[in-house]
Amino acid sequence: SQIQDVNSDKVKRAKNMAFAFDIDGVLVHGDRLIPEGKKVLDMLNGDNQLGIKIPHIFLTNGSGKPESARTEQLSKILGNPVNVEQFIQSHTPMRALAEYYKTVLVVGGEGYRCREVAEEYGFKDIIVPNDIVAWDESIAPYRVFTEEERASSRPRDFSKINIEAIMVFSDSRDYATDMQIIMDLLRSENGRLGTVAKDPVSQRIPIYFSQGDFLCPTEHPIPRMSQGSFRIALEAMYKALTGVDLERVVYGKPELATYKYADEVMASWMDALHGEERVPENIYMIGDNPASDIVGGNMYGWNTCLVRTGVFQGGENDEENPANFGVFANVWEAVTTACRKQL
Ligand code: G3P
Ligand code: MG
């Protein structure tokens, strides 16, 4: 019975801890598994001495697909179930914006798949850059527009429509076209293409970005440019053309709103797993990017673990945003160290 007591204490402590996983550079590289990622999830999903599930959510700046499609794909890669209810992509909290804007330009994603994401979020009138190119090809002078793209576009007379807001949901697949159209809209009178506002501020429509990472680890050996790089280029162009700063809203890690949203998801996932709707006391964020995962987690009072399998390639710890729980070779080392401390 002593063993039982020790175990029930451990179970109690296990229910008071949780993990928030970054995905790219921690569990996978693009679509390639990082083997320790599967090992960690096997363990947290019950393959451990206590035989219990330890709650974890996925908090990724990744984007571009509906949550259901991405979790299905990740479940296969990771060999473990990834439920939409424990899953936050950079644009997931932007669902709330559907209440405020009807006609929106949605940018990013393969084959403009973000149209589908925006539909799921409840946006009523969704326009993607290809719809605009199909209406007036001269808007993007260097674009080669294929028949296939034309067939999947939905052109209308955009000189008669006011676009109310711009939502950059994911990485642009064509910087030249997307930047040109975004800049046209930001400089227009209330989102009407073909116009140029006299006052660049009062008639400007708002622009939202789903995340701010400059770099993203991929299959390529050196991290690739991401949405943050696209945004600073737009900001610089806008400033040069109009003389004023571009106001914008950025979601994703390390923005506070994203961590608050993560808390809500964590509490309801705790409810699903343990029948207790609350946020556990000890949360561990495992990330590879000091400038997003780690700085955000530190500000939010989480324990932060930096791994060496992604963006971070530095020395003992990151100099600007050091992880407060430590730096680890990989996700397995981080999670098992946290479990040893807590249990
Ligand atoms: O930077 C873009 C994105 O792919 C990063 O994803 O999972 O590392 O937050 P993640
Ligand atoms: Mg990452």
Place of tokens 């719809």: 131
**62 in contact with ligand 1, CB cutoff 6 A:** yes
Do 235 and 189 have their domain in common? yes
> Which pLDDT score is estimated for 216?
85
Kindly give, in sequence order, each residue whose CB lies less than 8 Å from that of residue 173, ignoring residues fewer than 6 positions away.
Answer: 108, 109, 110
Regarding the beta carbon of 23 and ligand 1, being less than 6 Å apart is answered yes
Beta-strand ranges (E) seen in the chain are 17-21, 28-29, 32-33, 56-59, 87-88, 103-107, 125-127, 165-168, 207-209, 215-216, 224-225, 249-250, 282-287, 303-307, 326-328
Q: How many domains does the chain have?
A: 2
**Model pTM score:** 0.94
Q: Are residues 97 and 243 in the same domain?
A: yes
Same domain assignment for residues 9 and 157: no
CATH number at residue 65: 3.40.50.1000
pLDDT for res 86: 98
Domain that includes residue 97, residue range? 92-250
Indicate whether 15 and 160 sit together in one domain.
Answer: no
Q: What is the pLDDT, as a whole number, of residue 101?
A: 98
CA of 315 to the centre of ligand 2 (A): 18
Model confidence pLDDT, tens digit, residues 215-246: 887 778 888 999 999 999 999 999 999 999 99
Q: Which atom of ligand 1 is nearest to the CA of 171?
A: 2
- Residue 158's closest CA among 175, 174, 177, 134? 134
How many helices (H) and strands (E) would you count in the chain? Answer: 11, 15
**Pairwise pLDDT comparison (181 vs 9), residue with the higher score:** 181
Among 250, 283, 301, identify where a domain stops.
250
Do residue 121 and residue 137 come from a single domain? yes
Interface ipTM: 0.97
**Do both 156 and 206 map to the same domain?**
yes
Q: What is the pLDDT of residue 217?
A: 76
- Residue 235 CA to ligand 1 center (angstroms) comes to 22
Q: Both 155 and 244 in a single domain?
A: yes
- Quick one: 149 and 268 in the same domain? no
Are residues 152 and 111 both part of a single domain? yes
Per-residue pLDDT, averaged over 150-163, amounts to 97
